[in-house]
Amino acid sequence: MSGLWSTDRPEFAERVAKLAGGTTYRTPTGGRGTKEDHLPDAHAIAAALSFARQSPDDIGPDVAYCWVLQSDAYRQKVTRRLSIMLRSHKFRTMAQHRLAAAEAAWAVMIHGVRVKVDQPADLRPYDWDRLLLAAIAELHDSAWDALAEAERRYRSAA
């Protein structure tokens, strides 16, 4: 699973950097970078993505921030919210496994690593895989949706 979205991160990072007022490409000029302000990149990214937040429960900007920076800054908040979001009729019988799936999905999405999670004894492998893939898809979609919304709002404000 670690390679599911391996080609997405460069495009995603470049679009976030552009939105945050720069680019991931830097040509040194006279021993300095070309960045004109002194705002740390992480702060510029957080500010740019904050325009995408549609409600207090919206995890998209947090996922996008952590994905582009490969940070665990919002891990606990996002994984708890994600486990709640996975309460659909398809996963009703898997309530006790949703948080574990959210944690495993976070490791795959944000850090590109597959964590060893013991297969729950009371779930078929097929059901566990469906839960895990649903969690990964939700993280992935929320990050891309947040970026698209931030870009849309930035363009409409300009």
Number of domains comprising the chain: 1
Name the one residue in this structure whose structure tokens are 């490409």.
Answer: 25
Count, residues in the chain: 158
Ranges of the chain with pLDDT below 50? 1-6
Residue 82, in any domain of the structure: yes
**Within-domain flag for 77:** yes
In a domain, 3, yes or no: no
In a domain, 124, yes or no: yes
CA distance 148 to 143: 9
Whether 110 maps to a domain, the answer reads: yes
Residue 1 lies in a domain: no
Quick one: pLDDT at residue 120? 83
Give the global pTM. Answer: 0.82
Question: What pLDDT is recorded for position 113?
Answer: 85
The domain in which residue 99 lies consists of 8-157
What is the tens place of the pLDDT at every residue in 9-51? 678 888 888 888 876 555 555 555 555 667 888 888 898 898 8
85 belongs to a structural domain:
yes
Determine contact, residues 118/35, Cβ cutoff 8 Å.
no
63 touches 146 (CB < 8 A) = yes
| Secondary structure (3-state) at 29 | strand
